[in-house]
Structure formats: structure tokens, C-alpha cells
Structure 1
Amino acid sequence: MRSSRALTLVGALAVATLAFTGCGAGSDSGGDEASYQIYALLPQGTDQPYGTSYLPAMQAKADELGIELTITNSKYDADQQASECEVAVAAQPDLIVLWPAVGDTVRPCLAAAQAAGIPVTVTNSDVNPEDKDLTAGFSGPDTYGQGVASAEIMCELAGDEEVGILMVNGLTGNSTATTRRGGFVDTIEESCPNVTILAEQPGNWSKDDSQIAVSEMLTSVGAANVKGIYAADDTMVAGAIDALKARDIDPASLFITSIGNTKLGNPLVISGELDGTIFQSSSWDGENSMVFAEQVLAGDAVDDLLMPSIKVTAENASDPDVTPEW
């Protein structure tokens, strides 16, 4: 696992909503020239729920640090992000922040930046392991640790009972999906081998796709054999729960865990349909993309800056420290 720096989510940054177009506003530093020029190549903006708190936090921290920030939004189009990378490299900023639109397509961008002497930090979703040497490091969710934490909840729920579960993964080939799966599977195998993964399918980060996938798996392994479900995010777990209800199976009768603690998932925890999820703070993610970039530019020795993986269950789901952000 990567090394991490423990930072608390308590007192997460509160910022006013800002308007964004294709580029972020420049630094407001009393008229002084910005300390750094940074291009942020993102796959989403305030057009997606996560971005509505990620981008304001990112911009507020950039303003605080005297960073002139240019933001792009490729809308998860790999070709568009590649074109935006060409523009960024030609502009010769001090640093590029990259949130990969598609993880296995970003190496040419990273290589071009390296050839131009521009450091690249990665935010939210890390690059593939073979591309890590082309980056200055990563800030964002500890996706492996999120999988570990969700599995730990599952192990605690199962106790010594023999439990067969279904697994709903993210998009095939996506780095977040891969590392979350790795963290979950490794922990199950090491900590509670009495939990058996009966079947797994990708849910593609989609509620509808996940409902179909779980319905198919229930049929293939036999619904009576399924005692639990793990889904790699709250959107997919909501689809899994809908699949159970469509078969008149009470979700509360199964052990169900997820990741996100989103505005969709948190109410499911409170209702008892979802046993546990892992809090992911989009504002922490946006803010610390700038904290990490500034540390790199200042020449500090840095480790990957990883978001704490806070478990959310019925006991703490209503606590203000884990209020859903997206």
C-alpha cells in the first residue's frame, strides 16, 4: 500500500458556491502576481454532484495559496482530455493537476508534461501503477483503504457465520474500481475467510446496471444462498437493494456494505437497508489537490496524500462530521 499522511475530516472546508465556466477564476491575492500557474485537467465540473463541492473547495484553496488556476472539464471523454493536455503543456504552467478521465489513456499526457519539465500531480483517481513514475504523486481517496474498511464492516457483521455474498464492482479497467476491489478481497481473505464471494459483476457506477447485475447473480447462484452484498459505491448499492426488493427480499435481512456515504447512501444506512459505507469528502478532495500541488512546487518531500477512510454505520450516520456532500 502507498504511504499516507493522516489528515482529519473534522471541520471540513465550508465555502460559498462559485460559478465555473471552462476555466477557474484567477487568484485574488490583493493585486499581487500569483505565486504559481496551475492547469487542472478534470473529467467533471459542477455538472456532476461530486464536482459541486469539489470545485469550490479547490478554487478557494487556490485563491488562499495565491495560485492562478485554469480548470478544464473533459466530461470523461479521453480524447477531449488528451487535447486539453496538449493545450496545458503548450501553456507551460508551473504544474498540471490531472484527474484521469480514463486511466489507461493518460500516459501520453504524462510523458509530454515530463518532456516539457512540467510536474503532474494526480487527484481523485490515481493513474495505473505502470504510470506512477511519470507523476509527482497523488492526493485523494485511499481507494484501496476504502475497500479494506468496507470489508472490515462486512467481517464484523458476519462474525463466525458462513456467509455467501455478491460483489458489484465499478467500471472494468477503472483504477478506482480495481483498487477498491483489491482492498475488499484482500481483507476478506485475510480477516474473515468464512465470507465467500459467490459471484461478481461490474455495475459500471450505475444504479440501473447494478440492479440488473444483482438480479442476474441472484438467479445464477440462487437467492437463498446469498446472505450479503458488497457494492463499490452507494449508487450501485442502491441498485442492488432495488434488485432485492423486486424479489421481495428484505435488504435488512442481508449484510450489505458500500463506499461513499453520499446523499443517496446515507439515508439507506439510517433506514437500516445498508449496514455500512465509507465516507468520501469531495470538499477534502478538492482542497487537498491544491495543498498537495503547492507542496510539490515548494520542493517539499511528499508522500501521497490520502483521505481518511471513515466508516459510517447506524451508530454515526447522523453525525455532522460525516454529513453527505454529494
Structure 2
Amino acid sequence: MKWRTTTQRRAVIPAAAIAGITLTAALAGCSSGTASNTTGAAASGTCSNVTALVNDIQNPWNGTLASGMKTKADELGVNLTIQNAGGVVSDQTSQLQQAITSNPDGILLQATESTGLVPGVKLANKASVPVVTVNANIGEGADVVTFVGVDQKDYGIALAKLVEQALPNGGKVAIIQGVVGNPVEIDRTEGINETFAANPSIDVVATVTDSWNNADNLAVVQDLLAKYPAGQLDAVVAEGPEMYVGAKYATSIGRTDVKFIAGDFPIEVKEAIESGDLYGTVLQDGATIGAQAVTDLCAHVEGKSVPTPTDFLDLPSITSENVSQYDTTWNW
């Protein structure tokens, strides 16, 4: 999943991925909330008209999410309208209210904020419009069919396991958090810390933040490598794809003694694994999540059962050993 960052990182969305998507609201510049109450009661009808509300489609990972929704909707013969909130909760609230008024067969919601969208989803409940939350959930108080995405704590555990794989004899490790206080950051950090706490051979020497931003990642990696010379730092794990920037810098100054682990799988991360700059990453595939969300919503509308309260997807780890088995089309 991705979050709005500063303008120092330019979002790049492949044109082919977005072609044919209907966008409503001005384009501009995620967090995963707590699990909401869910309803397993299925409707019984035809899934032909769906509205998807995306946090910020200018964010490259969200672009892959939207393209996955579009591809699956086309496959199922569903008319899909995608609206972009530009990361603004008030805009998404208005979009949700408007979507309910248009009476679609269902709504896909990547929430801009966990609690702020609860009243809007309650309105959808009252109007009997089913809602599936995608990648970013809402808080307690409203009913959704299911949440489609990944378990962010498991994501953190997978990152930590990659570190342990890279350091079979243990070592000194630095953790780079994303946006501190973001629900996704909290869950990923919890997974990392719990895993390391159970492994006495891992010594966490520093915990810093780069706010999921390329420029900040470079700055914190420069600081870490200056503070911890060879022999005092064995690995650095970041909670997002921006880790490729710091890893490339480390290679450029000859610090090949440090292993670097990233999250997610844009083109830059794949290339960094292939070149040896990055040890590995955890794949949270936006297109797969988007496609599954459409599948689950339409299954519900057509009276079929869907996994509840969550439909978690797998989080494969990628290293040089299996990177050739995976492809990617988006940039960070």
C-alpha cells in the first residue's frame, strides 16, 4: 500500500494501466485503518455498475490498484467509475455521498482516513449499497462486506524474516520507519520489532524514519553509514520501496558490507535486487488487490459468499533467487 509523500518524489503511472478509467474530481496528490464491522449478508442481483473511490490515484502504487480494478471489471463486463480523492478526506466523503445517490450496485473504498469515512459508509448501509474496503480499511461503526488487502503486521514480519535470512548468524540492524503514527507504519513496525525481539542474535542499533520518501531515505542512510562504519552495521530494513535509493548510495561508496531490505516491488526495486544493491523485498501487489476487490464485491452482489471480515492476500518475499519469476510495471 502507499502514502502521499512530498513533491520530491514524482508519481509515475503507466499510461496503459490507466487507459479507459473514468476519473471524477480533480487530480491531486494511505493508511490502513482498524478492521470495521462487517456484514456477510449477500445481495442477489447483477453486478454491472460499480464506483471505486481511490485515495490518491497520482500515487504510483494506487495507480496499480486502480488498473487492477479496471482490468477485472472489464473482464467481468462491469461498468467501473473510479473517483480520485487526491488524499483529501473531505473530498472522498463528498464522493462517497454522491456515489450513494447514484445507486451503484456497489462501492469499492480505499479510505483516505479510517474514522472520517465511517459516517459515509453508514449512509451506504442505510441505502443498502454494499461497500468493500480495499487496502485501507475504515474504523468501527459501519458495515462493510469485507476488507481486501494484506495484513500489515504480517508485512512487517516478512520484512524482518528477510533480514534474518540475509544475516543467518545475526548482526546489528537499523530500522527505517515510514510515516510515524500512520496505522500501516504502526503495524509494520510492530511486526518487525516482535520478530527481532524473539531473535537474540539480532541487535537493533537504530530506529529512524524516512516518511516513505526517496530524498529522506537517502539522508537517513547517509547518516547511518556515517555513524556506523564497517563492522558496526550489518543490515538496514525500510518499510517501503524508497530503500532502493539508500541502497544504491551505499554501493556507490563501497559499503557492500550492509544488506538492505525494502518493501513493495516497483521497477526500481526489481532492478536494485537484480544489481545486488538490495537484498530483497516483500511484494504487496496493488493490481492483484484491486482485481480481488472487484471479484469479491461482484460475488456479494450476485448472492455468492465472500471471505469475511477480511480477504487477505499473500505477501511473497523476493530476493535474487526468485526475482526473475516476478514482473512489475510501475515506478516509485
TM-score using structure 2 length? 0.78
- Answering whether residue 188 of structure 2 is matched by residue 180 of structure 1, we say yes
- Answering whether residue 71 of structure 2 is matched by residue 60 of structure 1, we say yes
Shift of 1:42: 0.3
Q: Which residue in 2 is equivalent to 1:210? A: 217
Amino acid of the residue matched to residue 185 of structure 1?
Answer: N
SS at match of 2:140: helix
Amino acid of the residue matched to residue 294 of structure 2?
Answer: M
* 263 and 87 in structure 1: CA distance in 2 versus 1, 3 angstrom threshold: same
> Any conservation in 2 of the 1:82–1:109 contact (CA below 8 Å)?
yes
Q: Which residue in 2 is equivalent to 1:73? A: 84
- Measured in 2, the distance between the counterparts of 1:253 and 1:44 equals 38
Partner residue of 1:302 out of 289, 307, 327? 307
- Measured in 2, the distance between the counterparts of 1:82 and 1:109 equals 6
- Measured in 1, the distance between the counterparts of 2:62 and 2:161 equals 29
> Any conservation in 2 of the 1:229–1:255 contact (CA below 8 Å)?
yes
Shift of 1:232: 0.7
- Answering whether residue 166 of structure 2 is matched by residue 157 of structure 1, we say yes
Q: How does 1:119-138 map to 2 (within 5 A)?
A: 119-127=130-138, 130-131=139-140, 134-138=143-147
Shift of 1:312: 0.8
Please identify, of 280-289 and 141-150, the stretch whose mean Cα deviation from structure 2 is larger.
141-150
- Measured in 1, the distance between the counterparts of 2:85 and 2:186 equals 22
Shift of 1:60: 2.8
Unaligned runs of 5+ in 2: 1-15, 25-44
Select the structure with the greater relative contact order (CA < 8 A; seq sep ≥ 6).
2
Per-residue CA deviations over 1:144-202 (Å, capped at 9, x if unaligned) read 222222211111222233x2211112223333222222222222223x23212222223
Per-residue CA deviations over 1:100-135 (Å, capped at 9, x if unaligned) read 2233533333333234333321112333xx438632
Q: Which residue in 2 is equivalent to 1:146? A: 155
Unaligned runs of 5+ in 1: 1-14, 24-32
- Answering whether residue 318 of structure 2 is matched by residue 312 of structure 1, we say yes
SS at match of 2:73: helix
SS at match of 1:160: coil
Per-residue CA deviations over 1:200-251 (Å, capped at 9, x if unaligned) read 22322211122223344556x644532210101112x1233256468x351x
Per-residue CA deviations over 1:47-73 (Å, capped at 9, x if unaligned) read 443344433331232233343322101
Q: Which residue in 2 is equivalent to 1:167? A: 175
Q: Which residue in 1 is equivalent to 2:9? A: none
How large is the RMSD of aligned CA atoms in angstroms?
2.8
> Any conservation in 2 of the 1:262–1:279 contact (CA below 8 Å)?
no
Q: Which residue in 2 is equivalent to 1:7? A: none
> Any conservation in 2 of the 1:170–1:232 contact (CA below 8 Å)?
yes
> Any conservation in 2 of the 1:143–1:179 contact (CA below 8 Å)?
yes
> Any conservation in 2 of the 1:126–1:175 contact (CA below 8 Å)?
no
Partner residue of 2:120 out of 102, 109, 112? 109
Amino acid of the residue matched to residue 314 of structure 2?
Answer: P
* 268 and 107 in structure 1: CA distance in 2 versus 1, 3 angstrom threshold: same
> Identity over aligned residues, as a percent?
21
> Any conservation in 1 of the 2:125–2:142 contact (CA below 8 Å)?
no
Partner residue of 2:287 out of 283, 295, 306? 283
* 222 and 165 in structure 1: CA distance in 2 versus 1, 3 angstrom threshold: same
Amino acid of the residue matched to residue 293 of structure 2?
Answer: S
* 96 and 232 in structure 1: CA distance in 2 versus 1, 3 angstrom threshold: same
Shift of 1:95: 2.2
* 154 and 133 in structure 1: CA distance in 2 versus 1, 3 angstrom threshold: farther
Report how many residues are paired: 293
> Any conservation in 2 of the 1:103–1:174 contact (CA below 8 Å)?
no
Shift of 1:22: 1.7
Q: Which residue in 2 is equivalent to 1:44? A: 56
Q: Which residue in 1 is equivalent to 2:264? A: 260
Shift of 1:271: 1.2
* 106 and 202 in structure 1: CA distance in 2 versus 1, 3 angstrom threshold: farther
Identify, as 1 or 2, the structure richer in helix. Answer: 1
